[in-house]
Each structure stands twice: as C-alpha cells, then as structure tokens.
Amino acid sequence: MIHELRILPEYYDAVINGLKTFEIRKDDRGYRVGDTLRLREYDPDKAKYTNRSTRVIVHYLLRYDDAPGLIKEGMIVMAIRRAA
C-alpha cells in the first residue's frame, strides 16, 4: 500500500540526507511493514506543497500495544528506508 503524507522541510531534508530513519504518526491508516510512504514536502509558511517528494519503505513498526510506556496511545513509530 502507498500512503501519501505531508512532511515539513526540516524533516524532509533529514530524510533525504539519511539522518532521519523513522516517522512518528497517528496510527490511523493501517500501516504495515512493506508499505510505501510518499513523503511530500509541505511549506507551512506558504500553505502549499513544494515540488519535492520522496518514497520510503516501512521496514519496522512499533505501536502503543508493543510499548505502552514509550509510545502515546494512538501513535505509531515506523522505521523507514529510502526506496531505490
């Protein structure tokens, strides 16, 4: 499955540079290992998308039920890798 998600410029740059290897999101889309996230850079000052986007693959998930003391209920942590 492909999920299209908004990402702020500072986080987009960190993904592109290989520094940010995770996404923390609301667990409201049925995310699964192997899913693709299309991360579209969004400029909140201009209230619009830029022309930059990238695709990453989810290779590990951590949900509230897995770590209730670490993750807020209703949230998910996804380990990601840039797609080839």
d(CA 8, CA 24): 13
In this structure, what are the phi and psi dihedrals at residue 47, rounded to the nearest 5 degrees?
Answer: 55, 45
Average pLDDT over residues 80-84: 92
pLDDT, position 53: 97
* pTM more than 0.85: yes
d(CA 59, CA 10): 22
How many CA atoms within 13 Å lie on the side-chain side of 67? 9
Q: Residue 77 sits in which domain range? A: 2-82
Number of domains in the chain: 1
Does the pLDDT value for residue 1 go beyond 90? yes
CATH number at residue 55: 2.30.130.30
| Per-chain mean pLDDT for the chain | 96
Reduce the DSSP state of residue 19 to 3 states and report it: coil
pLDDT digits (tens, 9 = 90+) for 6-62: 999 999 999 999 999 999 999 999 999 999 999 999 999 999 999 999 999 999 999
pLDDT, position 84: 79
